[in-house]
Amino acid sequence: MKSKISVLSAVGLAVAACLVALPVSTQAQEQKAQGYLMEDYVVKPSMAKQFEAATAEEIGLYAGIKSPFGWTAYSSEDFHYYFFIPIGNFASIDSIYAAFGQAKT
């Protein structure tokens, strides 16, 4: 009986040691921070449909350019519209605005 308890205890300790060591080994690769360019638009409730239509038109313009920039849009109940564009560094902000300027011309 004592041998079964000691075997189970040894197995339990081995499993616990593996579970403790797992997060340490997964963090071995350095995490690179991701920056975002965020734009926040506050829209009057009566103008929300017009803003969304204008935004859809802009998306159509930007769809034609070959841009490496992806983006995500969110809206909240208080008529805030948030646009997030991932950036590598601050210098890429200039290239984002240059690409948007190209699409409008």
Radius of gyration of the chain (CA): 26
Q: pLDDT digits over 5-17, tens only?
A: 665 565 565 556 6
| CATH code reported for the domain at 35-104 | 3.30.310
Least confident of 4-8, 37-41, 77-81, 83-87: 4-8
* Locus of tokens 């950036």: 87
The model's pTM is 0.59
Cβ–Cβ under 8 Å, residues 64 and 103: yes
Distance CA 41, CA 80 (A): 6
User: Domain boundaries in the chain?
Assistant: 35-104
Length of the chain: 105
Distance CA 49, CA 65 (A): 26
Q: Does residue 86 register a pLDDT over 70?
A: yes
Distance CA 95, CA 44 (A): 31
Distance CA 85, CA 80 (A): 16
Distance CA 37, CA 35 (A): 7
